[in-house]
């Protein structure tokens, strides 16, 4: 195995499976099997299929029943789970290092040998449909979905919710599952391991369980989404208005992502941020208020979220716009910049305390080809300047205008559009 950077090793099996290992003394073992396909790789008629397959593999394989999977993981004293992202799917397990081979065998079985039995498909459709209904009933989750649906061209897969839509999930069948599952092939697989294990031992275990995989079908090339400005309110009789205000942003490969992270920390990334101090602490207009950046391969979204009483909605939007305008017009003071950098650096370093977080970092680094030692990430944060923050604020907020999605009583929120228009 070759060294990616100090104490991080990688290689690729002959069939294309990538293996990355970070040995960490006296730590538990975190294992991940990543598949380079997510909801953005789905055709429209299979919207939600990446997430559905993530569910289905736990219903049983050709070698293990669902109960046996749970029983074996419990016997290892481990924790197993999975997640679906717009650009990947992750199956992961945390165990003691002595159980490496057994744990990886379980993960490999899930990924390689799912049964996809007809009766399980019908049962899991009900589970996922209920999950969709729960999201629809949760205004905070719903408003994020609405924003994403409208910030991108609605026909693009990036605009669709990861769970899919009820009408497509109801039509899922075994043929449709295999139409997407064929992308679970070796060139799309990444195995990451972090903990008290030797790289050679991990490599031997990966070869044993994945070395026999035959090359398969490559997922179609991804098309970049086209952003659209929008204003949208979903009318709901509720005591709270849930608002998302935002713009398209930079992607994972853009070096300005570090500047964006610092800007986000200053604007709405925590209790010392401008929005939190003004909207919650000083004026008491909302309990939940924050900003965040979601970065993808070729695109991104920067948003501000506020949950507030409908009567306060316009004021919170106006304050948010004022704080955005400050970033555009005024360089961030050195003291505030220093505080944001220290907070971010602390988050990075504290986030690496667990084997699991390090395993995830390895996978993200490989997926987006952004591997870097921690020291380099800290340096990139440290080198961000006030001028660079002002420049990215000017570009993001002055380019195509801000969009807004809201869930709440429409008759009390319609004046939000005039507040938004006045700021453009």
Asked whether residue 410 carries a pLDDT value surpassing 80, the answer given is yes
Residues 120-166: tens digit of each pLDDT: 999 999 999 999 999 999 999 999 999 999 999 888 999 999 999 99
Asked whether residue 26 carries a pLDDT value surpassing 90, the answer given is yes
| Average pLDDT value for residue range 161-181 | 98
Q: Identify whether the C-beta of residue 291 lies closer than 8 Å to the C-beta of residue 302.
A: yes
Q: Among all residues, which ones are annotated catalytic?
A: 54
Instruction: Give the model's pLDDT for residue 351.
Output: 87
Instruction: Give the model's pLDDT for residue 423.
Output: 62
| Average pLDDT value for residue range 204-216 | 96
CATH class of 231-422: alpha beta
Helix (H, G, I), strand (E, B), or coil: what is residue 216? Answer: coil
Hey, where are the domains in the chain?
2-210, 231-422
CATH class of 2-210: alpha beta
Asked whether residue 401 carries a pLDDT value surpassing 80, the answer given is yes
Burial level of 14, CB count in 10 A (0-12/13-18/19+)? exposed
Q: Identify whether the C-beta of residue 40 lies closer than 8 Å to the C-beta of residue 66.
A: no
pLDDT band at 399 (very low <50, low <70, confident <90, very high): low
| Average pLDDT value for residue range 80-109 | 99
Angle between helices 386-399 and 313-329 (to 10 degrees): 130
Strands 189-195 and 8-12: unpaired
Listing DSSP states for 30-65 in one string gives EEEEEES--GGGS-GGGTTHHHHHHHHGGGBBSS-B
| Average pLDDT value for residue range 316-328 | 97
Residues 262-299: tens digit of each pLDDT: 999 999 999 999 999 999 999 999 999 999 999 999 99
| Average pLDDT value for residue range 58-69 | 98
Nearest to 191 by CA among 414, 362, 334: 362
Phi, psi of 183, rounded to the nearest 5 degrees? -80, -10
Nearest to 323 by CA among 284, 287, 269: 269
CATH topology agreement for domains 2-210 and 231-422: yes
Q: What angle do CA 304, 307, 310 make, to 5 degrees?
A: 115
């Amino acid at each position: 195995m070759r060294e990616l950077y100090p104490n991080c090793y990688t290689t690729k099996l002959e069939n294309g499976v990538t293996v990355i290992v970070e040995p960490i003394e006296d730590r538990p073992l975190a294992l991940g099997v990543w598949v380079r396909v997510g909801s953005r790789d789905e055709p429209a008629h299979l919207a939600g299929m990446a997430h559905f397959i993530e569910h289905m593999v736990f219903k049983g394989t050709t070698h293990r029943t669902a109960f046996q999977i749970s029983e074996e993981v419990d016997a290892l004293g481990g924790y197993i789970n999975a997640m679906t992202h717009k650009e990947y799917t992750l199956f992961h397990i945390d165990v003691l290092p002595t159980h490496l081979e057994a744990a990886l065998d379980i993960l490999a079985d899930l990924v390689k040998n799912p049964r996809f039995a007809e009766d399980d498909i019908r049962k899991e459709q009900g589970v996922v449909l209920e999950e969709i209904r729960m999201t629809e009933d949760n205004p905070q989750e719903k408003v994020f979905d609405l924003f994403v649906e409208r910030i991108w061209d609605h026909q693009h897969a990036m605009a669709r919710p990861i769970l899919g839509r009820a009408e497509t999930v109801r039509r899922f069948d075994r043929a449709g599952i295999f139409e997407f599952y064929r992308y679970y092939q070796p060139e799309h697989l990444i195995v990451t391991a972090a903990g008290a294990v030797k790289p050679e031992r991990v490599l031997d275990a990966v070869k044993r369980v994945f070395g026999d995989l035959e090359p398969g079908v490559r997922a179609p090339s991804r098309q970049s989404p086209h952003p659209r400005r929008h204003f949208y309110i979903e009318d709901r009789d509720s005591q709270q208005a849930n608002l998302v205000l935002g713009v398209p942003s930079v992607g994972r490969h853009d070096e300005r992502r570090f500047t964006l992270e610092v800007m986000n920390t200053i604007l709405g990334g925590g209790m010392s941020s401008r929005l939190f101090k003004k909207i919650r602490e000083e004026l008491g207009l909302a309990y939940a208020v924050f900003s965040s950046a979601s970065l993808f391969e070729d695109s991104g979204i920067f948003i501000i979220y506020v949950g507030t009483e409908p009567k306060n909605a316009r004021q919170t939007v106006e304050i948010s716009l004022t704080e955005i305008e400050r970033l555009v017009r005024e360089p961030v003071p050195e003291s505030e910049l220093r505080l944001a950098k220290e907070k971010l650096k602390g988050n990075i370093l504290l986030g690496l305390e667990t084997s699991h977080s390090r395993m995830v970092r390895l996978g993200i680094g490989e997926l987006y080809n952004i591997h870097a030692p921690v020291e380099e990430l800290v340096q990139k944060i440290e080198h961000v300047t006030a001028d660079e923050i002002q420049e990215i604020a000017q570009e993001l907020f002055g380019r195509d205008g801000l969009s807004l999605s809201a869930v709440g009583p429409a008759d009390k929120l319609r004046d939000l559009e005039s507040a938004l228009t006045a700021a453009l």
